[in-house]
Structure 1
Amino acid sequence: MLEITSFEAGRRLRGALVLSGALLALIALTVGLFPSIRETGADLDAYLESLPPEATRAFVGNVTTLTTIEGYLVSQLYQFGWVLLLAIYYAYAAASTVAGEVERGTVGLTLSLPVTRTRFVVGKFLSLVPGAVLVNAITFLGVSLGVALVDESIDTIDLFAVHAYSIAYLLACAGIGLLASVAFDSVRRAQTAGAGAVFGLFLLDTFTFDTDYEWLGDVALSRYFDPGAILVEGEIAWADLSVLLVAVVVLVVVSSEYFERRDLSG
């Protein structure tokens, strides 16, 4: 299993570095605009209050002002970049792990080695962990440096907590992609199903939050990751973090069990 993880993680290293570079560019642009945003903060906060609750929940998060660096980062970087875009990316990436082997016809050769199907699936999933950690480590340093360069200060522990917490969230989203990967023979179908499921759950969370149907959104992983609560209020919802960690385990176990019982002869 560790051999599979090591090999696949090595293959994904370049992708993780490219993704980190793209995010650093986004961070530089976002943080660099903050001084000018702060000067017109009153107007932006008024605009923020005029937005529909659904739009605020989806694209701004649970922040009430953009005039602080914490609220600004949550609304302009973490809520959209981490909660949505990176979540879709990791579901999309995970969806190709097993389905890619099946589609290429190489899964039979791999499974002819002394490795069980469960170890194969778990090894594939674990190969995503180093990349998620690396991306968050690099972007954590990038945000810290960017904030310092614009003469602002931010609680380093809270910032670190956001990135550490997000690893559990992103891996849970990857778990959805993994489940799609073992269910489909086609990479494209698996990727569409995995990424589509994460996006659909995000919309479900957005449109049911603070309504009579809020309980429907409890199945959405985004319901359990609130960057604003961590970065602005300094609060970590340990119960929500536990839900994400349990979701990771359950999704990997279900994916492994399904793949164990799947007929690959076709």
Structure 2
Amino acid sequence: MLEITTFETERRLRGSLLLSAALIALIALTVGLFPSIQEAGVDFDAYLESLPDEVSRAFVGNVTTLTTIEGYLVSQLYQFGWVLLLAIYYAYAAASTIAGEVERGTADVTLSLPITRTRFVVGKFLALFPNVVLVNAVTFVAVYVSVVFVGETIDTIDLFVVHAYSIVYLLACAGIGLLASAAFDSIRRAQTVAIGGVFGMFLLDTLTFDTDYDWLGDLAFSRYFDPGAILVDGDVSWNDFALLLAAVVVLVIVAAELFERRDV
């Protein structure tokens, strides 16, 4: 299992570095615009209040002001970039892990070795963990340095917690991709299902929040990761964290069991 994990981790290293570089550029641009936005004199909080609840929930989260660096980062970076885009990216990446091997015919070669299908699935999934950690470690430093560079201050602990918490959230979304990858032989089909699953959860959370159907949003992983609560209010829900961690474990177990039972 560790051999598979090591091989896959090394294979994904270049992609992790390219993703990190792209995020660093995005962070530098986003934070670099903050001083000019402050000086513009535009009442962005009034604009925020005028947005429909669904739009505000989707793109701004639960923050109530954009005039602080914390609220600005949540609205312009974390709510859309982490909660949605990176979640889709890792679900997409995980969807190719098993289905890719099956589609290319290399799964038979690997499984001919003294290795169980469960170890194969778990090894593939564990290879995503260093990727997620690396990207969050690099972006944590990039955000902090950028904030200091523009003359602002931010709570380092809260910023660290946002990135550490997001690791479990992103792995949960990757678990959806892993499950799709274990269920389908086609990479494209698995990736489509994974992207649809994560985006569907995001929409479910957004459209049902604070409505009569709010309970449906509890099925969405994004309901349990609130960057605004952590970064702006310093509030961490460890119950939500535990639920996401449990979701990761369950999805990996189900994916492994599904792959054990299917014909390859």
The interval holding the TM-score normalised by the smaller chain is over 0.9
CA distance 1:45–1:4, shift in 2 (3 Å) = same
Contact preservation (8 Å) 1:41, 1:66: no
1:141 aligns with 2:141: yes
- Per-residue CA shift, 1:24-43, capped at 9, x if unaligned? 01000100000011224651
- TM-score of the aligned structures, taking structure 2 as reference length: 0.99
User: Which residue is 1:224 aligned to?
Assistant: 224
User: Which residue is 2:181 aligned to?
Assistant: 181
Contact preservation (8 Å) 1:5, 1:127: yes
- Shift, 1:186, TM fit: 0.5
User: Which residue is 1:54 aligned to?
Assistant: 54
Contact preservation (8 Å) 1:5, 1:123: yes
Return the alpha-carbon distance in structure 2 between the equivalents of residues 233 and 44 of structure 1.
20
Return the alpha-carbon distance in structure 1 between the equivalents of residues 196 and 253 of structure 2.
21
Q: How many residues align?
A: 264
- Paired residue type of 1:208: T
User: Which residue is 2:33 aligned to?
Assistant: 33
- Paired residue type of 1:179: L
1:4 aligns with 2:4: yes
Return the alpha-carbon distance in structure 1 between the equivalents of residues 41 and 4 of structure 2.
50
Return the alpha-carbon distance in structure 1 between the equivalents of residues 135 and 97 of structure 2.
19
1:153 aligns with 2:153: yes
Return the alpha-carbon distance in structure 1 between the equivalents of residues 205 and 184 of structure 2.
26
- Paired residue type of 2:132: A
Q: Tell me the C-alpha RMSD between the 2 structures.
A: 0.7
Return the alpha-carbon distance in structure 1 between the equivalents of residues 222 and 204 of structure 2.
10
Report the 3-state secondary structure (helix = DSSP H, G, I; strand = E; otherwise coil) of the residue aligned with 1:61. Answer: coil
Consecutive unaligned residues of structure 1, counting only runs of 5 or more, are none
Return the alpha-carbon distance in structure 1 between the equivalents of residues 119 and 197 of structure 2.
25
Q: Which runs of 4+ in 1 moved over 3 A?
A: none
- Per-residue CA shift, 1:164-202, capped at 9, x if unaligned? 000000000000000000111000110010011100110
Report the 3-state secondary structure (helix = DSSP H, G, I; strand = E; otherwise coil) of the residue aligned with 2:43. Answer: helix
Contact preservation (8 Å) 1:13, 1:131: yes
- TM-score of the aligned structures, taking structure 1 as reference length: 0.98
CA distance 1:41–1:200, shift in 2 (3 Å) = farther
Identity in percent: 77
- Per-residue CA shift, 1:204-245, capped at 9, x if unaligned? 000000000000011100000000000000011000000000
Counterpart mapping for 1:157-176 below 5 A = 157-176=157-176
1:67 aligns with 2:49: no
User: Which residue is 1:106 aligned to?
Assistant: 106
- Per-residue CA shift, 1:102-160, capped at 9, x if unaligned? 00001010000010000000000000000000000000000000000000000000000
Return the alpha-carbon distance in structure 1 between the equivalents of residues 41 and 157 of structure 2.
26
- Paired residue type of 1:185: D
